[in-house]
Amino acid sequence: MSSEWLRCVVVFLVAVPLVKAAPQPNIVFIMADDYGWHDIGYHGSEIHTPHLDKLSASGVRLERYYIQPICTPSRNQLMTGRYQIHTGMQHSIIWACQPYCVPREAKPLPQYLKGAGYSTHMVGKWHLGMYKKDCLPTRRGFDTYFGYLMGSEDYYSHVHCYYSPDEKKTFCGLDLRDGEEVATEYKGDYSTEVFTQKALSIIDKQDPDKPLFLYLALQAVHFPLQVPDRYLEPYSFINDPKRKCYAGMVSAMDEAVGNVTLALQQKGLWENTVLVFSTDNGGQTLWGGSNWPLRGRKATLWEGGVRGIGFVASPLLKQTGTTCNELIHISDWLPTLVGLAGGTINTTKPLDGFNMWPTISYGVASPRLELLHNIDPLYTNDLPCPGMSYQPLASGDSWANSDFNVSIHAAIRSSNWKLLTGDPGCGKWFPRPGDSGSDWNQTSNDPVKPVKLFDIIKDPEERNDLSDQFPSVVDNLLGRLYQYQKTASPIIYPRDDPRCDPSLQGAWGPWE
């Protein structure tokens, strides 16, 4: 080997600088509770959301983004990247006295991020089980936790009351924790403001040399309808008292998101942050929410229950100020965010989610062509829906002999098609807030058929059932539901345990 050749190699190595690896991005995930499709400014709402509008306008708005129709399943799929049928949580939510939680073998998102070197923090609503300490957020990958463990509670007293149908009694107690300890000093403080301040404190204390994962799961805008009076002042024009209070709660939430974003900027973290905003399910029309013009509401498989507000804001996006119309599901966040963090998915059970960063950031086609909304054999429709009824299949009716039992509450999306079976829940077209026009206050007198097919791209309001015109599509999608059902885990839904009584522990929390 000649000395001249060696000299050239040395010169080449010196002349080409080493490429420094891009720093891991900070990840901030903000989840709203029961936030309706119509209730954001950029969807034409009368409710003011300047911070959400501005933030989303600078990022990517996800207009075909799907969540689950109720809270525990959505949060479960966010944390595990798996459909609820694959974790045994396909029925209902986790009630306060039920002794179960997200299965321990399902590795949650914060554990993946912690393994990738992140500091991991959670503020707000957990609702993924708490009957034993191993179920708590601090045992599932979060370095710190401040929030409440159940579903709804009073925004000021932070007391949660639960009527147990098994025990035939009501249990009430404080539901607020700082880490694993009961937090008693926040009585009278409005939860949206308390949780925001906790998030701001985490941001302020963050080591800039270490990547941050902050999961802020706000109580807003779930009932009870409570908000400081100052947020009601801009809504004197709203006559419906529920809608008026709900609007104030949305404004408080919008202000909270603005404060979190500002804190990230002031700390110097924003330029390397990916912020995701998502609702957990559709709006609850019984408590002031609106999903107009979509059909249905929270707790239904209609678009009003499962199509959610969502967007991503970040200086790291390659295409900003855009709208994404690709199919994206809440189970996709785990592989997407772990991929962004440079982490590795190591699980013995396959994920149902996909890495959507190329779709969101670059605008490429979504890898997701199909989406299972749910299969719940135990479903019962317990919420009032005047004028609507469900028609069971009679012997000899179409698809009565399908391998999939079409009386089961289920729905699946494939390309432009959406198939629903059984009773999807309240299927009314609720009018736009403040509009009593007959065009939108529609209720069919005919019972809802047990098999319904819609072209969601052409008919997002689910008005034209095409099951009779496209029987081959129905057969294909019923076959897909049957295949999914064969992979489903047994449903976990135990009876209430009387040891849950918060008076025995001084507050809601682990009892085993």
DSSP 75-119: HHHHHHSS-GGGTT--SS---TT----S-TTS--HHHHHHHTT-E
CA-closest candidate to residue 453, choices 495, 411, 484: 411
pTM for the whole structure: 0.94
Least confident interval from 104-108, 175-179, 379-383: 379-383
For residue 105, give the nearest of 505, 492, 449 by alpha carbon.
Answer: 492
- Token pair of 452, please? 């319904």
Q: Known catalytic residue: 127?
A: yes
List 127, 158, 160, 222, catalytic entry = 127
Tokens, residue 210: 């270490």
- pLDDT (tens digit, 9 = 90+) per residue, 251-293? 999 999 999 999 999 999 999 999 999 999 999 999 999 999 9
How far is the CA of 75 from the CAs of 94, 178, 342, in angstroms?
Answer: 11, 20, 23
Residue 433 CB: number of other CB atoms within 10 A?
22
Torsion of CA 472, 473, 475, 476, to 10 degrees: 120
pLDDT of residue 437: 55
Residue labelled with tokens 């979060």: 142
pLDDT of 497 strictly over 90:
yes
Alpha helices for 267-318 (secondary structure H): 303-306
Token pair for residue 264?
């990230």
Q: Average of pLDDT values for 166-177? A: 97
Least-confidence region, from 229-243, 442-456, 465-479: 442-456
What kind and span of H or E run contains 258? helix 241-266
Q: What is the pLDDT of residue 214?
A: 98
Which domains are delineated in the chain? 26-368 (3.40.720.10)
Tell me the CB-side half-sphere exposure of residue 154, using CA atoms within 13 A.
13
| pLDDT reading at 443 higher than 60 | no
pLDDT above 50 (res 15): no
Q: What are the tens digits of pLDDT across the range 331-360? A: 999 999 999 999 999 888 899 999 999 999
**CA torsion angle 93 96 97 100 (round to 10):** 50
What pLDDT band is residue 438 in, cutting at 50, 70 and 90?
A: very low
The pLDDT tens digits for 288-326 are: 999 999 999 999 999 999 999 999 999 999 999 999 999
Q: What DSSP character marks residue 422?
A: S
3-state secondary structure of 324: strand
CA 304 – CA 281 distance, rounded (Å) = 9
Task: For residues 134-160, give the mean pLDDT.
Answer: 97
Tokens 């989303």 sit at which residue?
56
- The mean pLDDT value of the chain amounts to 92
Given 43, 71, 160, 245, which residue is catalytic? 71
SS3 (DSSP) at 200: helix
CA 477 → CA 57, 74, 411, 418, 457, distances in Å? 36, 23, 9, 9, 17
If one compares 396 and 164, the residue with the highest pLDDT of the two is 164
The amino acid occupying position 193 is E
Question: In which band, very low, low, confident or very high, does the pLDDT at 10 lie, cut at 50, 70 and 90?
Answer: very low
